[in-house]
Amino acid sequence: MSIPLLPPDDEVTPFPHVERALRDPNGLLMAGGSLSPQRLLDAYRHGIFPWYSDGEPVLWWSPDPRGVLWPERIHLSRSLRKTIRRGEYEIRENSAFSRVVAHCAGWRHNTQGTWITTDVFAAYCELHELGHAHSIECWHEDRLVGGLYGVALGEVFFGESMFSHRRDASKVALAHLAGCGRYQLIDTQMPTEHLISMGAEEMSRAEFLRVLEELLGGVGRRGPDI
């Protein structure tokens, strides 16, 4: 089986139905196209996200199963609860979005995962300016030491990446996101050992799409300001 390959500036060709995604590699649906705000938002609404390495065309994915985290089911270890109670970190929202993405790029460069290219960096900063992409930040003694960013639509937060330069900083950010009361579901894309330890689980793609349709409320509705 093959996937469509679009010119890099294509903003209008619709995505194939996610059921046409490859099984190997799991979820690969399409290559090419732009990272315009319109295409990115359309992708998230249909359970699709970009994930690719520098030097490749944009690769679009919709894996089956999907990694998700129900905020009310988040697991906080005893040590993490103590860290939160001590108030070791100051939580800020959207005060340093571009810095969070830049830190995530460096973090993922040195671990497994897709490199956050300069095009991806610019695309999500534009989404942030438009009010769709948000960051949760952990600060310690006025230093940014951890955080995460993602896209908010309806009652779903589509997590993109997280980083930690100090013990438990990214976990504290995720705990804050789960406890903020604004979202009924956090999309983690693919479950990792780190996220599973905090309560992430697998959901079939069909069920994920059903839940998306329910929680997005209306196509184009912007997520609440975080």
Is 29 a member of any domain? no
Query: Domain with 158 in it: what CATH number?
Result: 3.40.630.70
Full residue range of the structural domain in which residue 149 is found: 67-215
**Tokens 């294509």 belong to residue:** 10
DSSP 18: G
Q: Going along 71-220, which residue ranges are E strands? A: 90-93, 133-140, 143-153, 156-164, 185-189, 201-203
Task: Return the pLDDT at 111.
Answer: 45
Is 35 a member of any domain? no
Task: Return the pLDDT at 1.
Answer: 66
Is 181 a member of any domain? yes
Is 133 a member of any domain? yes
- Cβ atoms of 10 and 17 within 8 Å: the answer is no
Is 144 a member of any domain? yes
Is 49 a member of any domain? no
Number of domains observed in the structure of the chain:
1
Is 138 a member of any domain? yes
Task: Give the three-state DSSP class for 76.
Answer: coil
Each of the 226 residues of the chain gets a pLDDT tens digit; together they read 689 999 999 999 999 999 999 999 999 999 999 999 999 999 999 999 999 998 899 999 999 999 999 999 999 999 999 999 999 999 999 999 999 999 999 854 444 445 699 999 999 999 999 999 999 999 999 999 999 999 999 999 999 999 999 999 999 999 999 999 999 999 999 878 889 999 999 999 999 999 999 999 754 334 444 4
Task: Return the pLDDT at 219.
Answer: 42
Task: Return the pLDDT at 221.
Answer: 37
Is 43 a member of any domain? no
